[in-house]
Chains A and B, each alone.
Chain A
């Protein structure tokens, strides 16, 4: 039996985890399900692609790939630009849309607005970049063999490493810093958080920045791994929410673990059952979790 699904699943799962952190933080701190989060991922991927293209052009032609990886310095720099741009997108969307609706107090209206924003962003992206996929590179990579049928490309190594570093960094940010503590405080009890001197407006902004930047990272990395298409983020939406629920809404380690569980389950399904069943995996896991343990693996509240 080939264990390839473990590697593929781990990588996709870590990328889902990156996106799911944003979902879980917005759900617990802003108290609504942001359906536009998938488009943050798509936007992030296109922003990184455009920025890397621009950086490549500015430096006079295409920069060589960083052997043995398929991507160049321009792609890495583009990814960094994209972190900033996507965080900005999240902040702008909040300022012009979500905040006003939130202040009127109806969660369902905010959720519907995010659905609208999702569709609008997707259409805009498709309008700007067409529906044909784009690639950071089309170079093929030579995979290392590890026995048990496992093959890992240098890109996969790099992406697993980068995702792991980002996830650990966010975990430390949330658990060890004053800003992270403040985020957990607002998530648990907004009124008491104010009493303790926490400016909720600042924390909300901080949450969007983290969620947006991580979505950009997930989008860029998915782009490096596969391709970039206008629907890429939307297709990830169900896995993102499943991962957040699986791990327990509000929990960063939970979102990561949930992502990995879903990633591996999807990869196993594709390998052993059939690719057409992949999309059902998140859905089944989500439903089972909601019925068996609605507060998730790491959730504190029901």
Chain B
């Protein structure tokens, strides 16, 4: 079971490639059941789907947090299937979990210090400053306990934490969940900024309209497998897809452009 070197992004390979992945919490009950998808370098892909479809389980399995019982995960051409989570973090795969994605009992500074601990000593300070520059919201609150941050600021800290190690692929699980419309907009604006820095993004979202508006491609996951897949604009315009999996028309209109 090998783990890629940090400079793994070999040309010609997908940034992330998932093949026939089977994963779950109980051995006899796969939640992710044969899912496959490919994310090209620099691409922004969003995973959509109904509640309980296994979206969170899929990206947790990629991140090494859920046991994989079949299939493969490749990062830049190197197989990382089933590698322990703490090694993924050290190598180019960034992950922002759906809940509890910051250390609330630590200061913002300590949250970032922990993250950059995976980098060589000489680079840590500069990388932290780069994160504070990218996320000014948290920069002037460095000594504050992260638990005191507002929902939107927490999400920014979680992004900063995951981006601190310069991942080649960043996976996020519903970063807009529970935020007010204004903050949701801020989160998506930030994701667009991050994407412009060249980071490959795999985003799980409930907020389908907003996600498809910033993503290149969408994958719709149903019962642990991809059911539809296509360019974001195409999925957005497909009434059948919208009706079935994007939360219906009412919701779609509410969050639209």
Please list the residues of chain A having a beta carbon within 8 angstroms of any beta carbon in chain B.
178, 181-182, 184-185, 188-189, 191-200, 300-301
Contacts and interface: CB of A to CB of B under 8 A. Distances in A.
A178 B97 CA distance: 22
In the A-B complex, the 5 residue pairs with the closest CB atoms: A197-B89, A194-B85, A197-B118, A300-B105, A194-B86
B242 interface: no
Given A181-B113, A191-B85, A194-B89, 10 more contacts: A181-B110, A191-B65, A191-B97, A192-B100, A194-B84, A195-B97, A196-B118, A196-B161, A197-B89, A198-B86
Contacts of A191: 65, 85, 97, 100
B239 interface: no
Contact of B101 (A181, A192, A200): A192
A178 B65 contact: no
A196 B251 CA distance: 35
A180 to B, nearest CB: 10
A197 B119 CA distance: 10
A185 B89 CA distance: 15
A198 B165 CA distance: 13
B90 interface: yes
B86 A200 contact: yes
Contacts of B103: 184-185, 188-189, 192
A196 B115 contact: yes
Chain B residues touching A, range: 20 to 34
B98 to A, nearest CB: 11
B39 interface: no
Nearest to A202: B86
Nearest to B89: A197
B117 A194 contact: no
7 contacts: A178-B113, A182-B114, A182-B117, A189-B100, A192-B100, A192-B103, A196-B115
B63 interface: yes
Given A188-B104, A300-B105, A197 B117 contact: yes
